[in-house]
Copies of this chain bind each other. A is one copy, B any other.
């Protein structure tokens, strides 16, 4: 409540002006779609990363702003200080949930592909993003996942070389009511991507008129 006369000329530059942050609505109108989070959860080998990258490519080619968050770009940087104990997995997913929320706020369709085995961690990720969070269960039989074994991790987990491996020596809590279920046993990649694209159209793309 001090009078203006108390201020020196230097301080009188109104550096604390009206802050005109760009709203979510403005971003959506310009992009043609809302920002949000597609949270892919599933066993190792269920197809999360493959589908995430294929979907990102499709969305980019269709003119959308999309970005994939996964172990490849998070475990070596932001979460390089975390391992695979239950506590570290929880902190891993907590941070990713917050980053996904920021990216959604930036207007991006953020595709987060993480095993995220614990229901409570996924709930916290949903809380960070609010109603723009969509849980996508990427599902395949354990035997299928294990037979794919792209990085040879299942083999190492069975031999004990990798401890705390989800599906083998660490639990996976299946989502009971995901927003979308993608069965990579039943469908090939192209069909799975189609189903995801359909979901994005329904839930992210602004309708005419």
Contact = CB atoms under 8 A, between A and B. Distances in A.
Interface stretch (A67-75, A159-167, A168-176, A201-209): A67-75
Interface residues of A, number: 56
B102 A10 contact: no
Interface string A66-91: 11110001100110000000000000
A50 interface: yes
B21 A68 contact: yes
- Oligomeric state, in copies: 2
Contacts of A11: 144, 147-148
B22 A60 contact: yes
Interface of A: 7-8, 10-11, 13-17, 19-22, 26-27, 30, 45, 47, 49-50, 53-54, 56-57, 60, 65-69, 73-74, 77-78, 95, 98-99, 101-103, 105-108, 128, 140-141, 143-144, 147-148, 150, 184-185, 188-189
